[in-house]
């Protein structure tokens, strides 16, 4: 007796067609964004599925394409004839018998383009005429395909069976008791179509060859085998094409599928699910934090800091501050101290200044050796901070984007910094004013000296007579006052020099700050265009991809 065992109604996950549409749109996005990041084979398969889905959804939704597949001699053609009630497809003992796919259509209207798409030859298309349809109206919309066997050594039939197994809405695996555990059926297709429970039926044909208890054993064994292959809820129907037992059960399952008109969508959904599982391997788990969309301020600052260090901005700033300090002595120092130092001809002083100037010119004059290794480290640190949780291929993508212009970066940075190189010979106006002031004081001192000389010569040693209008200069009593004035002048000069020192320190600090700020700004702008922007583009691409994978999951 034929029986229907383990029929599990396709689970309730039957999203509306719109759901499938948006999932397919997400898949299209993945195909667009995936190259270079996703296994090309997977992308090719995704592209093929998109094409197939596009085609199938455009064609008749009133028809359900059911393919009878299986090894040669299992009884596909016999079952095809038995279900259709006509002797349409030759059966035989010579293997393999069926070379080209035969199709029988219940309700031909509108099926033409679908049959064309399935590439069924005209002479192998059959229709159940309305006169013959009595009692068969429940199968209206069924397109039953009798495939060539899928394991034939003949490449032609093999390809055709393969092709139609890929595109049919529902696959009916026809197995016979001798070969149901056939590796080629199970390994090559069943494993690949695991997860397609809703659109796969297993028919154990030639049931008449077995005793009832043997049949039950066989079914249990097959069920076990299928579960092991990953088919969670196998639908198994036992039939005998020759006696007709169980064929009605098979028809009932087919009628149910045809009536719901969901097989086409369920098939595409199952294919999509399968792809999704593989695609999901390149994105983090659901509960992982979502990837960053943009680079936050702290990371931008971190990168700018690191690049500033790599090009030696603080060193340039410090050198500038030193040059400023050393040079200021020439202008705002106490002239007497300077002259005394010169007399001592302290070569170290001028050498130092020369060295510092050379250093600063070196740092800013194109020879800014923005240490490539340090630049690279800075970029690497940025990329590493962003890619936590990402799949390796996307981590590499972000890293590559960050490094995309790193070869030119040191050069561009040094060019930028050269433009803001400080003018080392610039003299602030207040330095000039102070110099003039100090020289004025020196003049006063010299005048005082002359006065003292004159007073001593004419007032004390009385070497002669001064003209009447210059008598005051020869008056010895003026000596203490003149002396006092000279001490005051010296003291004023010294005080001015000391006060200036503080202003010089302040000014040097300000100059350094101004220079460093400008350099940082330039480094920041360069980092923005050469590192941050490419990385953000890649992050945006990853985010789109990530969202698409989420959407394709449905
Ligand atoms: N006893 C018995 N024999 C069957 C049954 N179904 C098919 N056969 C026989 O098995 C042989 C092969 O049947 P086909 O229907 O040609 O098998 P097929 O799967 O179409 O084979 P290919 O076209 O070569 O792939 C024929 O001799 C059939 O008569 C069945 O249920 N019981
Ligand atoms: Mg056949």
In this predicted model, which residue has the larger pLDDT, 428 or 104? 104
- Region 160-166: mean pLDDT is 90
In this predicted model, which residue has the larger pLDDT, 118 or 414? 118
Shortest CA distance to 254 belongs to which of 99, 454, 80, 12?
Answer: 80
How does the average pLDDT of the chain come out, rounded?
84
For residue range 168-220, list pLDDT tens digits in order. 999 999 999 888 776 566 667 777 777 788 899 999 999 999 999 999 999 99
> What residues contact residue 413 under an 8 Å CB cut-off, 6+ apart?
307, 310, 311, 368, 370, 375, 522, 523, 526
For residue range 73-96, list pLDDT tens digits in order. 899 999 999 999 888 888 876 666
For residue range 38-50, list pLDDT tens digits in order. 899 999 999 999 9
pLDDT at 24: 94
Whose tokens are 């101004």? That residue is 514
Beta strand pairing call for 4-5 and 102-105: unpaired
Percent of the chain with pLDDT over 90: 46
Rounded distance from Cα 165 to ligand 2 centre (Å): 15
- Region 146-154: mean pLDDT is 71
Q: Report the half-sphere exposure of 94 (CA within 13 A, side-chain side).
A: 4
Question: What is the number of the ligand 1 atom nearest to the C-alpha of 206?
Answer: 31
As a dihedral over the C-alpha atoms of residue 236, residue 192, residue 49, residue 285, rounded to 10 degrees, the angle is 110
For residue range 13-38, list pLDDT tens digits in order. 344 444 899 999 999 999 999 898 88
Question: What is the number of the ligand 1 atom nearest to the C-alpha of 74?
Answer: 19
Rounded distance from Cα 247 to ligand 1 centre (Å): 14
Which residue of 241, 244, 250 sits with most ligand 1 atoms within 8 Å of its CB, as the best mutation to test the pocket? 241
Question: What is the number of the ligand 1 atom nearest to the C-alpha of 96?
Answer: 24
- Region 267-293: mean pLDDT is 82
- Residues, Cβ < 5 Å to ion ligand 2: 76-77, 97-98
Rounded distance from Cα 231 to ligand 2 centre (Å): 26
In this predicted model, which residue has the larger pLDDT, 389 or 105? 105
For residue range 90-130, list pLDDT tens digits in order. 887 666 678 899 999 998 889 999 999 999 999 999 988 65
Whose atoms come closest to the Cα of 75: which ligand? 1
pLDDT at 190: 75
Which range, 288-297, 374-383, 460-469, 486-495, is most confident?
Answer: 486-495
pLDDT at 388: 82
pLDDT at 400: 93
Whose atoms come closest to the Cα of 81: which ligand? 1
For residue range 458-487, list pLDDT tens digits in order. 888 888 888 878 888 888 888 899 999 999
pLDDT at 215: 94
Pocket of ligand 1 (CB under 6 A): 72-78, 91-93, 95-98, 148-149, 205-206, 208-209, 240-242
In this predicted model, which residue has the larger pLDDT, 129 or 306? 306
Mind giving me the DSSP string for 395-413?
Answer: HHHHHHHHHTTTTTHHHHH
Whose atoms come closest to the Cα of 157: which ligand? 1
Give the helix/strand (H/E) hosting 172: strand 170-175
Rounded distance from Cα 140 to ligand 1 centre (Å): 26
Rounded distance from Cα 73 to ligand 2 centre (Å): 7
Q: Report the half-sphere exposure of 288 (CA within 13 A, side-chain side).
A: 15
pLDDT at 277: 86
Shortest CA distance to 249 belongs to which of 77, 7, 76, 67?
Answer: 7
Q: Give the Cβ contact number of residue 339 at 10 Å.
A: 12
Rounded distance from Cα 178 to ligand 2 centre (Å): 17
- C-alpha 202/C-alpha 171 separation (Å) is 8
pLDDT at 363: 55
Whose atoms come closest to the Cα of 242: which ligand? 1
Which residue of 68, 72, 73 sits with most ligand 1 atoms within 8 Å of its CB, as the best mutation to test the pocket? 73
pLDDT at 347: 53
Q: Report the half-sphere exposure of 105 (CA within 13 A, side-chain side).
A: 20
Q: Do residues 264 and 66 touch, judged by C-beta distance below 8 A?
A: no
- Structural domains for the chain: 4-15+63-262 (3.40.50.300), 297-427+503-553 (no CATH)
Rounded distance from Cα 238 to ligand 1 centre (Å): 14
Q: Could you tell me the maximum CA-CA distance found in the chain, to the nearest angstrom?
A: 160
pLDDT at 513: 92
**Strand partners of residue 145:** 67, 103
54 Rama class: left (phi>0) / alpha (psi -120 to 50) / beta: alpha
Q: How confident is the model at residue 135 (pLDDT cuts 50, 70, 90)?
A: low
pLDDT of residue 262 exceeding 50, the answer is: yes
Chain centroid offset of residue 28 CA: 17
Percent of the chain with pLDDT over 70: 86
The three-state (H, E, C) secondary structure of 81-97, written as one string = HHHHCCCCCCCCCCCCC
- Compute CA distances 439 → 335, 344, 473, 497, whole Å: 8, 21, 23, 12
pLDDT of residue 360 exceeding 70, the answer is: no
> What residues contact residue 64 under an 8 Å CB cut-off, 6+ apart?
141, 142, 143, 169, 170, 257, 258, 261, 263, 264
- Region 157-166: mean pLDDT is 82
pLDDT at 10: 35
Q: How confident is the model at residue 228 (pLDDT cuts 50, 70, 90)?
A: confident
Residue 334, helix vs strand vs coil = coil
């Amino acid at each position: 007796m034929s029986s229907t065992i383990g029929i599990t109604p396709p689970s309730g996950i039957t999203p509306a067609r719109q759901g499938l549409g948006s999932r397919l749109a997400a898949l299209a996005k993945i195909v667009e964004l995936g190259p270079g990041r996703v296994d090309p084979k997977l992308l090719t398969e995704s592209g093929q599925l998109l094409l197939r889905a596009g085609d199938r959804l455009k064609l008749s939704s009133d028809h359900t394409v059911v393919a009878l597949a299986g090894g040669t001699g299992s009884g596909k053609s016999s079952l095809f004839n038995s279900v259709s009630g006509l002797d349409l497809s030759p059966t035989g003992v010579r293997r393999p018998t069926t070379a080209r796919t035969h199709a029988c259509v219940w309700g031909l209207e509108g099926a033409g383009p679908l049959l064309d798409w399935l590439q069924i030859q005209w002479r192998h298309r059959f229709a159940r005429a309305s006169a013959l349809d009595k009692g068969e109206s429940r199968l209206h919309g069924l397109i039953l395909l009798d495939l060539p066997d899928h394991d034939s050594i003949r490449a032609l039939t093999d390809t055709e069976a393969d092709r139609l197994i890929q595109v049919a809405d529902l696959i009916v695996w026809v197995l016979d008791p001798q070969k149901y555990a056939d590796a080629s059926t199970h390994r090559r297709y069943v494993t690949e179509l695991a997860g397609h429970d809703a659109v796969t039926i297993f028919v154990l044909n030639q049931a008449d060859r077995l005793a009832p208890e043997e049949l039950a054993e066989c079914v249990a064994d097959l069920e076990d085998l299928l579960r092991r292959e990953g088919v969670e809820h196998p639908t198994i129907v036992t039939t005998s094409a020759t006696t007709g037992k169980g064929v009605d059960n098979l028809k009932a399952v087919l009628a149910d599928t045809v009536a719901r008109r969901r097989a086409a969508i369920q098939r595409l959904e199952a294919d999509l699910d399968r792809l999704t599982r593989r695609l999901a391997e390149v994105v983090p788990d659901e509960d992982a934090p979502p990837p960053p969309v943009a680079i936050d301020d702290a990371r931008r600052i971190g990168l700018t800091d690191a690049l500033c260090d790599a090009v030696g901005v603080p060193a340039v700033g410090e050198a500038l501050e030193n040059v400023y300090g050393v040079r200021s002595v020439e202008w705002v120092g106490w002239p007497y101290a300077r002259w005394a130092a010169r007399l001592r001809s302290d070569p170290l002083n001028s050498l130092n200044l020369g060295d510092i100037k050379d250093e600063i010119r070196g740092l800013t004059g194109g020879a800014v050796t923005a240490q490539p290794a340090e630049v690279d480290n800075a970029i690497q640190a940025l990329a590493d901070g962003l890619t936590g949780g990402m799949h390796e291929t996307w981590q590499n993508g972000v890293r590559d984007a960050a490094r995309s212009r790193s070869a030119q970066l040191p050069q561009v940075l040094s060019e930028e910094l050269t433009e803001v190189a400080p003018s080392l010979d610039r003299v602030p106006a207040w330095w000039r004013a102070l110099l003039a002031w100090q020289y004025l004081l020196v003049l006063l001192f010299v005048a005082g000296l002359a006065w003292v000389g004159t007073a001593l010569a004419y007032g004390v040693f009385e070497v002669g007579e001064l003209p009447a209008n210059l008598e005051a200069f020869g008056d010895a009593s003026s000596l203490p006052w003149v002396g006092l004035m000279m001490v005051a002048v010296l003291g004023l000069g010294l005080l001015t020099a000391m006060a200036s020192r503080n202003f010089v320190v302040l000014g040097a600090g300000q100059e350094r700050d101004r220079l460093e700020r400008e350099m940082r700004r330039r480094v920041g702008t360069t980092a923005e265009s050469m590192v941050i922007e490419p990385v953000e583009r890649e992050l945006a691409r990853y985010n789109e991809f990530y969202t698409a994978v989420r959407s394709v999951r449905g």
